[in-house]
Amino acid sequence: MRARQTHTPTRAPRIGRRGFLTAGIAAAGLGLAGCGSGAATSSGRARLRQWNLFTGGDGARLMEMHEAFREEHPEIQLEDTTFMWGDPFYTKFVMGAAGGRAFDIATVHLSRLRGLGTGTLISPVPRDLLAEHGITEDTVPTTVWDKCLVDGELYAIPLDTHLVVTYYNRRICERAGVLEGDGTLVETNGEEELIDLLTEVKEATGQYGIVMETTGAWRQFWSLYRQLGGEMTFDGELVIDDDKALRCLDFLRRVSEEGLAPRASDAPGTPANFQNEIAGLMFGGNWELPTLRDAGMDFGMRPFPAVFGDPLGQGDSHAFVLPYRRTPDREAENAAVAYAAWMLRNSLTWAGGGHTPAYLPVTGSEDYQELEPQAGYREAAENVQFDPQAWFSGSAAQLQSDANSVFQAVHTGATTPEVALDRFKSAAQRLIDTPPPV
């Protein structure tokens, strides 16, 4: 896993479906054989077991928030456990949820919600209880809140939004003449305006205009595809707009072929290349903010550019979920909801890592508006584009992995957009034809 943040670490080997099912069945068996809830402790305090996937800077920030929560809630014994990001976490999650005794609240990616067993491994969130703590659909962006609903039931409590945005080096961009008077990057509309801007920045660096993670090309592709209004569904067969998909892939080909961006740049190398000033701009997740700030860079951030339409960017949300319980445990449920609501209300601390809090009273506060550069891309969170819905889609899921593997070859010039699209469609159909493990 990448030490600096938690979103695009080195992947552990993907667990096979048989292993996934075997592990889940074994865990379920242990859960059936086990004793009851461990919500109450010998001291009379409510026990709250929290699972998460945050390490690096996010992990340190989470621990800071947890210590503050403990100080304010002596009646709750918070026990937090961190697992490795990606497949290891989600495998452990399914095993624990199947057993019914592993956690009282867990943090997941909202894009993975429907594939994690809503109604079977995950329980609905009691809206009335959540409202008592000040969290309702009016306090969260509609785009994010709607993703927490499955068949009208609320199954998650969103903590943040994290998505691909545009970083710009102020020193280089000033030299290129592409800054406004207030030091912000000039806004572009359309492909040609962006190409012109990248060309000017390239002339200022003598190398490239922009760097982006070519091994994570799905983020750029999905952002562009959604700007074109592209839809993608997996109901028995893949439905995708070939013309729109090819237009997006051709843009990725063009920026690399014209020397505006490196043909190859991996997850750790992309922010490093930006720090080394081989380019003045970078497409990257907003979680890269602390790394660049620690490097002492003078940089700004704005939403992903409007290349083919509105400035939409691919992203996701960290959200809290409750486990399904064969025997209801109201004390554990009350403690879990109180914890989640507290985390939302105090998410200004969480914003320090680059994530945009989901709780609107925080992002609308004066304190947040004074955060720089976070306030510069706040509106991007309202336009976040979640991955298409499927059990194999979302953060750390196989669809992203397959797309990245295929699409990066367009950047390198090893294949054409047409061939890459055909390969992606074949990979997606194989996933559609595979029965879901949960």
Amino acid at 314: Q
Tell me whether residue 411 is exposed, middle or buried, using C-beta atoms within 10 angstroms of its C-beta: 0 to 12, 13 to 18, 19 or more.
Answer: buried
pLDDT of residue 54: 95
Task: Select the more confidently predicted residue: 95 or 257.
Answer: 257
Same fold, 17-161+316-385 and 164-315+388-432: yes
Ranking 116-120, 202-206, 294-298, 336-340 by mean pLDDT, the lowest is 116-120
Long-range contacts of 64-70, Cβ-Cβ distance < 8 Å, separation of 24 or more: 64/349, 65/343, 65/346, 65/349, 65/350, 68/346, 68/349, 69/339, 69/342, 69/343, 69/346
159 has pLDDT over 70: yes
The predicted-structure confidence for 68-81, as pLDDT tens digits, reads as follows: 999 999 999 999 99
pLDDT of residue 27: 38
Distance between first and last Cα of the chain? 25
220 has pLDDT over 50: yes
pLDDT of residue 5: 39
d(CA 140, CA 387): 19
4 has pLDDT over 70: no
The predicted-structure confidence for 41-51, as pLDDT tens digits, reads as follows: 556 789 999 99
d(CA 144, CA 319): 10
Provide CATH code, domain 164-315+388-432.
3.40.190.10
The strand pairing partners of 165, in sequence order, are: 284, 303
The predicted-structure confidence for 17-30, as pLDDT tens digits, reads as follows: 333 333 333 333 33
The predicted-structure confidence for 377-434, as pLDDT tens digits, reads as follows: 998 988 999 999 999 999 999 999 999 999 999 999 999 999 999 999 999 999 999 9
339 has pLDDT over 50: yes
Phi, psi of 167 (to 5 degrees): -100, 145
3-class secondary-structure state, position 189: strand
242 has pLDDT over 80: yes
Helix crossing, 217-227 with 398-412: angle to 10°?
90
Fold of 17-161+316-385: D-Maltodextrin-Binding Protein; domain 2 (3.40.190)
Structural domain spans, the chain: 17-161+316-385, 164-315+388-432
pLDDT of residue 34: 33
Q: What is the 3-state secondary structure (H, E, C) of 371-419?
A: CCCHHHHHHHHHHEECCCCCCCCCCCCHHHHHHHHHHHHHHHCCCCHHH
- Regarding pTM above 0.75, the answer is yes
